[in-house]
Structure 1
Amino acid sequence: MEYPALIVGQEAAFAVHLSDMKDFKAVTQGRLTCVFKNAGGEVIFIAESPSHPGIFRPVVKFSEAGVYDLELRLEGPQVADVIHVPNVRVFGDEAAIPHDEAAAASEELITFLKEQQWKIDFRTEPAQKRMLAGSVKAVGEILPKAQWHAEVPALVNGVILADQNSNLSSVGAWVQKGAVLAVISPPANTEAGLNNVRNEYLLSKAEFERAQRLFEKQAISQKRLEEAKLRFEAKRAGYEVIAQQVDFGAEKNGDNNTPHFHLKAPIAGVIEGIHFHLGETVETGERLFTISNPKRVWLKANIPLALLARVEAATGASFKVEGYEQEFRVDQLNGKLISTGSSVDEKSRTVPTIFEIDNPDNKLKIGMFAEVAVQTSEVEETLAIPTSAIFDDNGTPIAYVHVEGEAFAKRVLQTGISDGGFTQILTAVIKCASPRFRLQCRWDMGTSTKQHGTQK
């Protein structure tokens, strides 16, 4: 709010800058009523609408000198509010205006007009006491959940023919557990072995069924029936293991059925890698596919050995990853502590601590590095500001403080612990004071210009 010295009998134009605190944009609609009160009564002046977006210009004229309390009443469809401004001085004449030639403040002020603020993504946040947890900084990494990650090898020797794999899934495709990933044509000796298993199963089945019929006619003993049943069940068990992966009748080669091995997905997930080419000969044990389910992942934090004792009771952590400005929190990702390692890495002298977390929208990619803050059991209520309001000025933390009106000052900070996007302030530089305005300390939430304080 800007206005000249107020003198009895002279008109004075105010410039009242008003922002909608929901989005910190200019108030463009509404009526502003200015009520000046003191022991002698009240004087009312009205601005029917903004002269420019965010700026109301009521014109005032007083008949009595004195100190007034100002009440700004905003009414309109966009926002309605009441702002109190104490100790507004009205002088009897120009001679009564004090000319204070005291030295100006030692710090250099920076002007940042409301008209400039409204044009950018600019907002403020109160500096207030918050419950912050201490933490230990660590380098981390996003890993797949062990139970939801699989390297799929070839279980037989063979050739992956193009005409038998025309529907081969691509990298990035989602597959269900049990879905056929690839068809492998085994060599002749393997084909013979697979066919022998199948034929022995079919023969034992036929013998058991024949034994059942003969037993019903009392042509054989109970013992012979049980022997036939045992042979059948043994052959069936071996065949069913193979039949889950082998199609014995998918292709014809003359008059003979040629078995083909169906490689199936052991878990549901995304195909992260295909490690062969069509037409290639593969061997038993050779890695063919990598599958991972990214819905749940592990956050591995490598805790320095010297700080391990501080995180023994840790249950949570926050972290940032490459490519994202936002901070992720384990507790907000349905996370839990999985384990703390029992051995020390010889090179880094760290111990791994692993959390399991949800992966919303698959933002967290396997292999991403992370900056992790593992929470300790130390929790305290302390004055804090958004971490995004703090700049690094050649190694010194600073913030820009709203001193008065549209004036800001750069202040050096002494910071403490950080937690949940807020940082502890150990120094008292954030206190604001003004002879004419009651200020609430506020801080910017993520723009290049930081502020502290807004006029109320």
Structure 2
Amino acid sequence: MTLKSVFVLTTLSLAAGCHGHDHGKSEGGKEGDHGHPHGAAAAELPGQSVTIWAQRTELFMEYSPLIVGQETGFAAHLTELPSFKAVTAGMASVTLKYVDGTTIVATADAPSNPGIFRPKLLPQKVGACELLVDVKSPQVTETFSAGPCQVFASADAARKALGEEAEAPGRITYLKEQQWKTDFSLAVAEQRDLQNGVRASGEIRPVAGKEARMTAPVAGRVELASPAPLLGTFVKQGTVLASIAPRPSAASDSATLAADVAARQAEAAAARAELGRAERLVAAQAAPSKLVDEARARLQVAEAHLDGASGRLAQYNANSSGGAAGRRFQLRSPVAGTLVAIHAVTGENIEEGALLFEVIGLERVWLVAQVFEPDLPRVQGARAAWFTIEGYEQPFVVDEKTSKLVTIGHVINPRTRTAPVIFELDNKEGRLRIGNFTKVSIATGAPKSALAIPEAALVEDAGKAVAFVMVEGEAFERRPLRLGVRSNGWVEVLEGVERGERVVTKGAYEIRLASASGAVPAHGHVH
């Protein structure tokens, strides 16, 4: 499969001692055997390298100048994307194609070291040409165009044509073998739509009305439902989770509740009779009118007490089963959701009010952002936001497709000088957990198109924001940055990185250490 690729072609100095880093033994089994002459003339020839990025593979290939009758060794470093790990199996072929259509093919049937394929090719005539690289592996299948090339008549002709190119100042060497063994990745600087945002801290909480804490209505002995409820399972509204056998002396057993109802009925009847007597006295002008008002108030209180007692008895009877001797109280989930906590076991004796179960509806949750008082006018009418949670690489997006603004608080917390801004979010995938702390940005203003890189690429160095840019497969540059808008995990770059360049988003710390050491690792490519 041929994919559109981006490549960088560079010329390297092959002077003795340049890049002495060692990739292990070559195909010939001899340390440092690179498949081309090692005489003084050959050693001084400038080498060439090419870096090509395709959709699923990165090729970094080094080779010496192509000279008629001299075997040329290639070191093709193949990286699987987006894992940025070495291609460890398969075969790689290099095809030299002359302008007249003549081709020469060299194949490495397996990597000499993980990720490094070393085909050797013998040019047979002078002339302009093109290099093609074919990779066939269980990991990737790719065809690369490595760009134009030239076969020279002699080493002197190659030296004269290519000249000497000193290594650019400020380059940091970080080998493919180092990249493959560490947590490493790149991202492309590209145009993106960015929005200004108000920053706030936040927390994931249950939606109001979708959380239930079930406590024991009576003291007694617990018996879990059969089958026993399991932590993390979904329960429907009304599902019986446990039953409680009340203690004979429990204050809230059936007899006590019935007696309370009877007492309240008597109180209400007495208050009703007293009201009638007061009305008759007032009608006969034998008592002041306020006597009726006082009697009516006492009746209202008595009737309220009666309603409460009757409700408690009705609830007890509705949720209990068995006769008077074996009555049990059933504990049902008042909401549908996930069973997130179980605080009881069968046979346990509990007191009235003890917490037994917690159920939370998790399909939708609230993001509660605490916005500082001066920023509240800017978030009025907000419809979009993004937030990050520790442990997740990518930010979560809040938009009108799956989320909605619930409210913007009207009361300022006197201690923190913040007010809550609440969004309701879809959580069908279950990635958001109640209690997650978040870093929130609430979008304000209109989006603008800007050159941007991921915030993960930013490194603070001597108090300044910098990024490390890959200029070719094993060479990086430290770039001071001038930044603009931050939005949804991306940051606008006003100065320091060009569009299309690749910045390090993972592994920047290791590259920074490599730059600080100043040492060039041992290298054993085709130099």
TM-score by length of 2: 0.62
Q: Shift of residue 323 of structure 1?
A: 4.7
- Pick closer, same or farther for the CA change 1:161–1:127 going to 2, 3 Å: same
Distance 1:390 1:401 in 2: 11
CA contact (8 A) 1:314 1:376 kept: yes
Residue from 82, 91, 109 that aligns with 2:172? 109
* Structure 1 residue matching 2:168: 3-state secondary structure: coil
Matched, 1:381 2:449: yes
Q: Shift of residue 27 of structure 1?
A: 6.1
1:203-237 CA-to-partner distances (Å, cap 9, x unmatched) read xxxxxxxxxxxxxxxxxxxxxxxxxxxxxxxx999
CA contact (8 A) 1:296 1:357 kept: yes
Distance 1:309 1:450 in 2: 43
Residue from 390, 395, 415 that aligns with 1:347? 415
- Pick closer, same or farther for the CA change 1:396–1:153 going to 2, 3 Å: same
Q: Shift of residue 145 of structure 1?
A: 1.0
Tell me what 2:71 maps to. 11
CA contact (8 A) 2:73 2:119 kept: yes
Aligned length: 395
Matched, 1:409 2:477: yes
Distance 1:153 1:171 in 2: 18
Tell me what 2:316 maps to. 245
Within 5 Å, give how 1:32-51 maps onto structure 2.
32-38=93-99, 42-47=102-107, 49-51=109-111
- Pick closer, same or farther for the CA change 1:279–1:123 going to 2, 3 Å: closer
Q: Shift of residue 353 of structure 1?
A: 0.9
- Pick closer, same or farther for the CA change 1:280–1:43 going to 2, 3 Å: closer
Distance 1:166 1:103 in 2: 82
Tell me what 1:191 maps to. 255
Tell me what 1:222 maps to. none
* Structure 1 residue matching 2:224: 3-state secondary structure: coil
Residue from 114, 131, 135 that aligns with 1:70? 131
- Pick closer, same or farther for the CA change 1:35–1:282 going to 2, 3 Å: same
Matched, 1:150 2:232: no
Tell me what 1:127 maps to. 189
1:52-78 CA-to-partner distances (Å, cap 9, x unmatched) read 25414232325325x544333446776
Matched, 1:83 2:83: no
Which stretch of the first structure deviates more once superposed, 369-378 or 410-419? Answer: 410-419
Within 5 Å, give how 1:168-179 maps onto structure 2.
172=231, 175-178=235-238, 179=240
CA contact (8 A) 1:171 1:272 kept: no
Tell me what 1:282 maps to. 352
Code of the aligned partner of 1:191: A
Distance 1:371 1:132 in 2: 17
Within 5 Å, give how 1:253-332 maps onto structure 2.
253=325, 262-269=330-337, 270=339, 272=341, 274=343, 279=349, 281-282=351-352, 290-331=358-399
Q: Shift of residue 148 of structure 1?
A: 0.5
- Pick closer, same or farther for the CA change 1:373–1:133 going to 2, 3 Å: same
1:371-403 CA-to-partner distances (Å, cap 9, x unmatched) read 112222431222223333333335433332222
Tell me what 1:28 maps to. 89
Tell me what 1:136 maps to. 198
Distance 1:188 1:50 in 2: 80
Distance 2:252 2:449 in 1: 75
Distance 1:161 1:173 in 2: 26
Code of the aligned partner of 1:161: G
Distance 1:77 1:290 in 2: 49
- Pick closer, same or farther for the CA change 1:50–1:444 going to 2, 3 Å: farther
1:260-318 CA-to-partner distances (Å, cap 9, x unmatched) read 655543223425475999545537xx877654323322110112233334333422222
Q: Which runs of 5+ in 1 are unaligned?
A: 199-234, 432-439, 452-456
1:356-382 CA-to-partner distances (Å, cap 9, x unmatched) read 123356443333321112222431222
- Pick closer, same or farther for the CA change 1:33–1:447 going to 2, 3 Å: same
CA contact (8 A) 2:183 2:507 kept: yes
Within 5 Å, give how 1:93-104 maps onto structure 2.
93-96=154-157, 97-98=159-160, 104=167
RMSD: 4.3
Q: Which runs of 5+ in 2 are unaligned?
A: 1-60, 263-305, 512-527
* Structure 1 residue matching 2:209: 3-state secondary structure: helix
Identity of aligned residues (%): 30
